[in-house]
Structure 1
């Protein structure tokens, strides 16, 4: 009996509207799509996921007190070079990075995770330059147990 090895010949493009969707809920659905966990032939050691385009990044919702309580830090490498900003400041300056950071934390660490991260395209507004790929729309419901449906 031969071992089944899935092929990575199918590359779909998905569009997700982030308006009024909680950040964590959006990030879990997007990370699952990028990894390819929605496919019946999912294999953890292969990149089989879809390309995901996230629109309206500035309209994503952070619940509770996370707008002022969640802090993003980065270190420049120099003495006294620890920089911090709250989620409210980050959404005002560069809302695309907030979603990228949340999704990147849910992807595998290492070479494959970095390759999967390149399949994520996040835009602050309604427009995107990937119209030629004919992306399908992915609806994310805002209920407690979410089901993502491609339409």
Structure 2
């Protein structure tokens, strides 16, 4: 009996509208679509997922006290160089990074996860340059 290995020839594009959707629900949907877990022939050691285009990243919803309580930190490499910003400041400055940070934390770490990062396209507004790929609209419940 031969082992079935699925082919990676199907690459779909989907569009997700982030306006008013909680960040966690949005990130789990996107991460599972990028990995390909929605497919019946999902194989963990292959990249079979879709390309995901996220629109209206500036209007993503954060529930509870997360706008002021959630803190994003980064280290500059210098002494005392720990930079902090709240979610409210991050969404005002660069809303794309907030969604990317949430999704990338849910993807596998390592070579395969880094290859999946290129399948996520996030835009702060309504427009995107991927109309030629004919993306399908997906609703977040």
When normalised by structure 1's length, the TM-score is 0.93
Alignment of 1:104-143 (within 5 A): 104-141=104-141
Q: How many residues align?
A: 141
**1:16 and 2:40 correspond:** no
Partner residue in 2 for 1:79: 79
Alignment of 1:45-124 (within 5 A): 45-124=45-124
Structure 1 unmatched ranges of 5 or more: 142-151
Deviations 1:45-76, CA, capped at 9 Å, x for gaps: 00000000000000000000000000000001
Structure with more contact order per residue of length (Cα contacts < 8 Å, sep ≥ 6):
2
Structure 1 segments, 4+ long, off by >3 Å, are none
**1:38 and 2:38 correspond:** yes
In the alignment, the residues of structure 2 paired with residue 85 and residue 114 of structure 1 have an alpha-carbon distance, to the nearest angstrom, of: 25
Report how far residue 133 of structure 1 moved: 0.1
When normalised by structure 2's length, the TM-score is 0.99
Compute the RMSD of aligned alpha carbons: 0.4
Partner residue in 2 for 1:148: none
In the alignment, the residues of structure 2 paired with residue 49 and residue 34 of structure 1 have an alpha-carbon distance, to the nearest angstrom, of: 4
SS of residue matched to 2:72: strand
